[in-house]
Structure 1
Amino acid sequence: MKNVTFRQLRVFTEVARHLSFVRAAEALHLTPPAVTMQVKELESALELPLFDRQGRQVSLTTAGEYFLVYARRLLATLKDADDAMARLRLLETGLLTVGLVSTAKYFVPRLLVQFRQEHPGVEVKLQVSPNRAELLKLLGNNEVDLAIMGRTPNEMAMRSEPFAAHPLVFIAPPGHPVGEFGHPPLSVLEPYPFIVREPASGTRAAMEKFFAERQFTPCIAMEMPSNETIKQAVMAGMGLGFVSLHTIALELQARALQLVHVEHTPVMRTWFVVHRQSRVLSPAAEAFRYFVLEHAEAFLARQDGPLLAEPH
């Protein structure tokens, strides 16, 4: 173990994340042979194989699965040490890794552009997770500094701070019969099929809570793994949808979708900025946290307000 380097650990964890030497090389801006060499040197130092390689298929060995836990701990400890030293230097530089659920990708990049204008020395990396469960894994493994999510996690000791409202709405294709109603009761939607997110999604949880409170049982025609596929399915006339208002600005403006102003909607949730309580935030992460808490609410209000106010 004494010959193992942090460079090897970083390469190993990246290959373990992607289960691909080529994709790990792309993420690390290295060549695939360089990644392979680092892994081979690490395996030689440990005297154990870490990956099973069968053609293009790569999987962790039992030793690899165990070692991955310790490698992540070591890298997280090194990152904490680096952050602590940066605090002492009072520098707002370095790498900031922000994790977010897929719905947040419709506004977080624009916030980051503004943040970078004020903090040009910070390099930002986004980790978009398909759903809340995957984002919690990134937080648990210390693979992100901060996370943007819609439900506060109870699974781990986290600091969760609300920063903006998150409206969820019903949508239909243009010309759908439900568009003839002004503010219909939920029961009007009973004859129509729904295209919904997967069960692990926060949007799905909010929808089910809204339905359960009103004792409404929807006709679920399909489950889709992303907002984009739901929008396309609704535009194609396959059913109604329930999505974040953040995700449909362009479609509403182009009149490719219409809002269904069901009574008691939009369903209002809350966005949170989250980090592990035990983790010392770097100056860059602390600066972004303050930026989100100070600016994000007004930013989203400007973006979403006209969409709710105007008939579509």
Structure 2
Amino acid sequence: MYYTLHQLQIFLKISELQSITKASEELHLTQPAVSIQLKNFQEQFPIPLTEVVGRQLFITDFGKEIAQAAERIINQIEEINYKTMAYQGNLSGRLKLSVVSTGKYVMPYFLSDFITENKGVDLIMDVTNKLKVIRSLELNEVDFALVSVLPEKLNVNKVELMPNKLFYVSNYDRQLPKTVSKKYLFEKIPLIYREPGSATRNAMEAFIQKNNFSVNKTIELTSNEAVKQAVISGLGCSIMPLIGNKNALKNKELKIIPTKELPITTTWNLIWLKSKNLSPVAVAFLDFLKERKEGIIKKKFGWIDDFLNI
């Protein structure tokens, strides 16, 4: 057998995604190139690795075992590379993070220079909802998690990164009465929610409950970007984080409706389990944040001040 590391990497990605098309997209290869490599890899085994039922690709039981072996091989090779770089005096290893969906507008700016300056560090960042973020932290699958609401049942350390402010927003062209009450905004206009488990949704529901509003018409969407586009289109209004809406506000697609008791302010926290034995890479990242955090906030998020006096 003469399969290559490249073939192992391609087959592992196909087995994870169960799709040649999706694997080619993630690997930045053409679909024909991935198909050819899969065919060449399969020819070295007398037992099928995959099967197609209907139009869906499935991994056979034998293929799953080969994928597990491939993952072990790839991890061992990466470990060799990390050890080599460490002996050369370079920081090396993986940095794993799980980030709530709105955090995708925040976390990359605190990572960019660290990853650029440390070529031996590989970044793995999963962007998902709050429930899955906390779950990945609880299972010790990641080094850090980015959340705006601290988990109640986990014993964690934290670094406060920056404030997270949530405003009531509508599309720019929506006509409202000259004097508009909170009751009107929440009871007369359709409200667009994030999915259950979202910290943004929890904050919005807590605000509505506190004010005893009776919401009549709601729309539920599963990402902050989807909510933003729905609000821009005029489907309704929502309470949304300011972060992520910079361009829509400046381009006059969205507008903030001044509302008593808003914005809701939380804090973006980078958290990790107190019981976790942090890797040298994770420790180095915390040191980086301690030294550079304020400069990053000033340089990358100074625009936020323009909206805080609304």
Give CA deviations for 1:127-149 in whole Å, capped at 9, x if unaligned: 35242344456557776543323
Select the residue among 262, 265, 270 that pairs with 1:268: 265
Give CA deviations for 1:259-292 in whole Å, capped at 9, x if unaligned: 1222221111221223454454242x33333334
Deviation at 1:244, TM superposition (A): 1.0
Match of 1:228 in 2: 225
255-264 or 73-82, which moves further after superposition? 73-82
Q: Is 1:247 aligned with 2:250? A: no
Deviation at 1:165, TM superposition (A): 1.6
Q: Is 1:199 aligned with 2:196? A: yes
Select the residue among 110, 121, 126 that pairs with 2:119: 121
CA RMSD, Structure 1 to Structure 2 (Å): 4.3
- Paired with 1:155 and 1:12, the residues of 2 have a C-alpha distance of 39
- Paired with 1:279 and 1:73, the residues of 2 have a C-alpha distance of 22
Q: Is 1:219 aligned with 2:216? A: yes
Query: Which amino acid is 2:104 matched to?
Result: K
Query: Which amino acid is 1:146 matched to?
Result: F
1:59-98 matches, within 5 Å, as 59-60=58-59, 91-93=90-92, 96-98=95-97
Match of 2:37 in 1: 34
Q: Is 1:57 aligned with 2:56? A: yes
Closer/same/farther in 2, CA of residues 69 and 296 from structure 1, 3 Å limit? farther
- Paired with 2:69 and 2:264, the residues of 1 have a C-alpha distance of 42
Answer yes or no: is the 8 Å Cα contact 1:99–1:148 preserved in 2.
yes
Give CA deviations for 1:10-43 in whole Å, capped at 9, x if unaligned: 65553343221343344346642334655786x8
Query: Which amino acid is 1:110 matched to?
Result: Y
- Paired with 1:94 and 1:20, the residues of 2 have a C-alpha distance of 29
Q: Number of aligned residue pairs: give it.
A: 301
Deviation at 1:81, TM superposition (A): 9.2
Match of 1:102 in 2: 101
Answer yes or no: is the 8 Å Cα contact 2:115–2:123 preserved in 1.
no
Q: Is 1:112 aligned with 2:111? A: yes
Closer/same/farther in 2, CA of residues 67 and 170 from structure 1, 3 Å limit? farther
Per the alignment, in what secondary structure is the counterpart of residue 308 of structure 2?
helix
Closer/same/farther in 2, CA of residues 29 and 237 from structure 1, 3 Å limit? closer
Closer/same/farther in 2, CA of residues 81 and 177 from structure 1, 3 Å limit? same
139-148 or 16-25, which moves further after superposition? 139-148
Closer/same/farther in 2, CA of residues 146 and 78 from structure 1, 3 Å limit? farther
Query: Which amino acid is 1:248 matched to?
Result: N
Match of 1:289 in 2: 286
Match of 2:307 in 1: 307
- Paired with 1:152 and 1:219, the residues of 2 have a C-alpha distance of 31
Deviation at 1:161, TM superposition (A): 3.5
Per the alignment, in what secondary structure is the counterpart of residue 246 of structure 1?
coil
Answer yes or no: is the 8 Å Cα contact 1:84–1:280 preserved in 2.
no
Select the residue among 206, 209, 217 that pairs with 1:209: 206
Query: Which amino acid is 1:17 matched to?
Result: E
Deviation at 1:8, TM superposition (A): 7.9
- Paired with 2:128 and 2:100, the residues of 1 have a C-alpha distance of 6
Give CA deviations for 1:213-234 in whole Å, capped at 9, x if unaligned: 3332323431122222222222
29-38 or 158-167, which moves further after superposition? 29-38
Query: What's the TM-score, normalizing by structure 2?
Result: 0.73
Closer/same/farther in 2, CA of residues 157 and 79 from structure 1, 3 Å limit? farther
Deviation at 1:76, TM superposition (A): 7.5
Query: What's the TM-score, normalizing by structure 1?
Result: 0.72
Gaps of 5+ in 2: none
Gaps of 5+ in 1: none
Closer/same/farther in 2, CA of residues 175 and 272 from structure 1, 3 Å limit? same
